[in-house]
Amino acid sequence: EAGVAQSPRYKIIEKRQSVAFWCNPISGHATLYWYQQILGQGPKLLIQFQNNGVVDDSQLPKDRFSAERLKGVDSTLKIQPAKLEDSAVYLCASSLVGSRPANEQFFGPGTRLTVL
């Protein structure tokens, strides 16, 4: 079974530029998550989708971050404009359905973003 795919794996940009990350979840997984993991910290949830609807985006900085999940499969996370403090690893995860706590979240390898 193929895992969660993310691209690019690494990205270096200058502050005020824009950047986009792509995620392809495990086939059949209805729930998709984007996390931000700053160096030395645990992952922090940015946004959760159930199919193509947003379940939780309470920690997404909506003035600069946006995310979409068209057709309930792939998802894109965008940052515009980027700030220095956005330097982090952006992890995508998916699970069968988010309505049961026992449903395991499977994580992709992440995109490492450096903002100069």
Site string for other proteins, 45-84 (x = CB under 8 A): x--x-x----xx----------------------------
Closest CA to 93 of 42, 40, 47: 47
Site membership for other proteins, residue 44 (CB under 8 A): yes
Site string for other proteins, 2-41 (x = CB under 8 A): --x-----------------------------------xx
| C-alpha neighbours within 13 Å on the C-beta side of residue 57 | 13
Amino acid letter at 86? D
